[in-house]
Structure 1
Amino acid sequence: MRTRAVLVRAAAETFAEYGFAGTTVSRIAERAGLTLGAMYFHFKSKEELARLILTSQPEPVVPPLDSRGLQHAVDLTLAWAYELPGNPVLQAGARLVLEQRLFTEPHVNSHRRWTGLLLEDLEQARRRRELRAGVDTEACARLIVSSCTGAQIQSRPKTSYRDLPARVEEMWRCLLPALAVPSAAKKVRFGEERVRAASL
């Protein structure tokens, strides 16, 4: 299992740096410090590795503070924004989602998983009466994922993702008045301490 984890990390670092087209199995094996034989023992191709990295995107993102509904949706996206600059798997996923036509079917992507997670949060927020009447939770979940994707695309060349948390918080401050009832919007909390509490 350790060799497999080393290969996944090496592949993520290589995909994040070179993209899918610029990555070769030789580059992955070299970065992992392993032979091509070891690489092929665990993975049949770089396509298989790319699909694994793409579809496992939400897994490294776990907000440390307990929250529900609207607050959890905010915490999830902020945790992602703070984690991405130092996490090669998330960086690779951010790049691979733009190149997925080269290695997988359109229905296999991380956007669907992120949208599903946020939809769960928004539906819970509806049950908690945090949302305005008539809010389309599916449309809002897709909008949040699209906005986060756009934010990371803009952030990477400008600041190497350093301003990504500020961009995500800005997105929420624009969305909350339209999405949440005023009393729920006022209770939403932001800040690095919410998503890095476990390491403080």
Structure 2
Amino acid sequence: MTQQARAVRTRRSILEAAASVFEELGYEGTSTTEILTRSGLTRGALYHHFSGKRAIADALVQLQEEALVLPDHPVRLQALVDLTMMYAERLRSDVVLRAVVRLTVERGSYQTGANYRGAMVAASTLLSQALERGELLPTVDPDELAFLLQGVFTGSQILSQAANGRADLPQRISGMWRMMLPSIVRPRLLPEIDIDPDRGGKLLGLLSP
């Protein structure tokens, strides 16, 4: 293994260990000592890559961008549905995303709007494209709807986490769309939008098609 590859692997190990601690203990309850214990690395290795706990948290939040890549679908509203369904599925299996959610929603010394900004921009972009293509009713405001969607999604995943560890999150997000779509989409397009709860897992290759 080259030195560069080893450095990348070490950095990723630190982030994954930190994510598990942040998810469990939150920002205030996390220490670099606990991160090192879970990663099995030395303090020198940690500080070679990060200046401290906040820098690690910032790096985790930035990793969320990997889950916000806009899906490639000709119907842009379907692309937005797919983005939310894949994100919901990944929350059940990706400790980094779960850590980012806790870092974002908790009130404390660590405050960042990066998570919400990224999701808001992604949703607003897809909704603006959908409006331009005639997929949405002309009364829809993409920015306003993106804000509403972010709030409903965030609330749904928090309640799902409290109830059953997000086991039913795909069903909850499917239900969110089932209630929301009739008020925003052109009637002709409504039957074509796929909100199957298993869609996110299939798109991620976690379930059989």
Q: State TM-score, norm by structure 2.
A: 0.88
Q: Could you tell me which amino acid in structure 2 is paired with residue 82 of structure 1?
A: E
Distance 1:18 1:4 in 2: 21
Identify if the C-alpha distance between structure 1 residues 46 and 67 changes in structure 2 by more than 3 Å, giving closer, same or farther.
farther
Unaligned residue ranges in structure 1 (runs of 5+): none
* Aligned partner (choices 183, 190, 196) of residue 202 of structure 2: 196
* Aligned partner (choices 66, 76, 83) of residue 90 of structure 2: 83
Distance 1:63 1:159 in 2: 29
C-alpha displacement at 1:193, in angstroms?
Answer: 3.8
Alignment of 1:185 onto 2:190: yes
Alignment match, 1:129:
134
C-alpha displacement at 1:26, in angstroms?
Answer: 0.7
* Aligned partner (choices 152, 155, 160) of residue 150 of structure 1: 155
Q: Residue 119 of structure 1 contacts residue 141 of structure 1 at CA under 8 Å; is this kept in 2?
A: yes
Q: How does 1:37-116 map to 2 (within 5 A)?
A: 37-60=44-67, 66-99=73-106, 101-104=108-111, 106=112, 108-116=113-121
C-alpha displacement at 1:77, in angstroms?
Answer: 0.3
Distance 2:161 2:21 in 1: 16
Unaligned residue ranges in structure 2 (runs of 5+): 1-7
| CA deviations over 1:87-136 (Å, ceiling 9, x no partner) | 001100111111265124x5x42011101001111011111101001211
Q: Residue 11 of structure 1 contacts residue 28 of structure 1 at CA under 8 Å; is this kept in 2?
A: yes
C-alpha displacement at 1:157, in angstroms?
Answer: 1.6
Alignment of 1:29 onto 2:39: no
CA RMSD of superposed structures (Å): 1.8
SS in 2 for 1:134: coil
Identify if the C-alpha distance between structure 1 residues 198 and 84 changes in structure 2 by more than 3 Å, giving closer, same or farther.
closer
User: Larger relative CO (CA 8 A, sep 6+): 1 or 2?
Assistant: 1
| CA deviations over 1:13-68 (Å, ceiling 9, x no partner) | 11011111111001111111101111111111111111221233241355877454
Distance 1:160 1:69 in 2: 30
Distance 2:79 2:26 in 1: 31
Q: State TM-score, norm by structure 1.
A: 0.91
Overall identity of the aligned pairs, in %: 34
Q: Residue 68 of structure 1 contacts residue 121 of structure 1 at CA under 8 Å; is this kept in 2?
A: no
Q: Residue 103 of structure 2 contacts residue 110 of structure 2 at CA under 8 Å; is this kept in 1?
A: no
Q: Could you tell me which amino acid in structure 1 is paired with residue 179 of structure 2?
A: C
Distance 2:42 2:200 in 1: 42
Q: Which moved more, 1:117-126 or 1:53-62?
A: 53-62
